[in-house]
Amino acid sequence: MPIKNAKRILLKLSGEVLMGEQEFGIDPGFVTELAKEVKQAKDEGWEICLVIGGGNIFRGMAGAAQGMDRAQADYMGMLATVMNALAMQSALEQLGVPTRVQSAVQMDQVCEPVIRRRAERHLEKGRIVIFAAGVGAPYFTTDSGAALRAAEMNCDALFKGTSVDGVYDSDPKKNANAKRYDSVTYDKVLADNLKVMDASAVALCRDNNIPIVVFSIREKGNLARVLAGQGTQTIVQA
């Protein structure tokens, strides 16, 4: 089921998918494959805001579990998302797609700061805007960053491209009988603590009525299918 009258989307990609078949870091060849799919979506007329996670490089929780100060570790995670954003910018621009990176942690030599009106202008000019560093604060994730940017940029939907093909009632990696939802409400996701996005991100989407479409970005061509309302996905909505 396509999202009705959608024109502008927020596409969130987990950092993990930038690893390709590697165990860690960035696989430039795979980033190029992802960039081709994003370009195709743009060529089809979608206005695209992009948010990329940092889990392929560093997650604050993992650092904290090994004894690091949590906030410090989270800032390292935010820096990881900037590296991913730059890798994606490079891949997109090599394909001829004009792109700007805006970071929630100011880094003048590297990219622009987040300025909503400027981001709006970039989209009007046909550029893709990659929002880096999440919300710019520790104790959050890039899912919350994605929900925040989706709300402030008036996106019609948030597409979450990840390693699984939707939202399940239990972990499909652990339970062979796990059932995937085609559609599920925000309230059920929150009440049952379903693994979609963290609760703050889901609540922000619910309060602003932004549907969340969860799909696997690992399958080639899936972004186009899902944007057309086809393919395997779960829609989280009211």
According to the binding rule CB under 6 A, does residue 211 interact with ligand UDP? Answer: no
Residue 216 makes contact with ligand UDP by CB under 6 A: no
Q: How far apart are CA 196 and CA 237, in angstroms?
A: 12
Residue nearest to ligand UDP (CB): 53
> Taking CB under 6 A as the rule, does residue 142 contact ligand UDP?
yes
Number of residues that bind ligand UDP (CB under 6 A): 24
Of positions 9, 11, 14, 222, contacts ligand UDP by CB under 6 A:
14
Is residue 166 a contact residue for ligand UDP (CB under 6 A)?
no
Region binding ligand UDP by CB under 6 A among candidate stretches 41-49, 133-141, 167-175, 213-221: 133-141
Q: Identify the residue among 35, 47, 60, 189 touching ligand UDP (CB under 6 A).
A: 60
The residue (of 185 and 198) whose beta carbon lies closer to ligand UDP is 198
Contacting range for ligand UDP; rule: CB under 6 A; set: 40-48, 143-151, 173-181, 220-228: 143-151
Using CB under 6 A as the binding rule, whether residue 152 contacts ligand UDP is answered as no
Residue 222 half-sphere exposure toward CB, CA atoms < 13 A? 22
Comparing CB distances to ligand UDP, the nearer of 27 and 44 is: 27
Among 132, 145, 217, 227, binds ligand UDP (CB under 6 A): 145
Collapsed DSSP state (helix, strand, coil) of residue 102: strand
Instruction: By CB under 6 A, tell whether 77 contacts ligand UDP.
Output: yes
161 forms part of the interface with ligand UDP (CB under 6 A): no
The residue among 96 and 204 lying less far from ligand UDP, judged by its C-beta, is 204
Q: What is the 3-state secondary structure (H, E, C) of the chain?
A: CCCCCCCEEEEEECHHHHHCCCCCCCCHHHHHHHHHHHHHHHHCCCEEEEEECCCCCCCHHHHHHCCCCHHHHHHHHHHHHHHHHHHHHHHHHHCCCCEEEEECCCCCCCCEECCHHHHHHHHHCCCEEEEECCCCCCCCCHHHHHHHHHHHCCCCEEEEEECCCCEECCCCCCCCCCCEECEEEHHHHHHCCCCCCCHHHHHHHHHCCCCEEEEECCCCCHHHHHHCCCCCCEEEEC
Residues that bind ligand UDP (CB under 6 A): 14-16, 53-55, 59-61, 74, 77-78, 80-81, 134-135, 137-138, 140-145
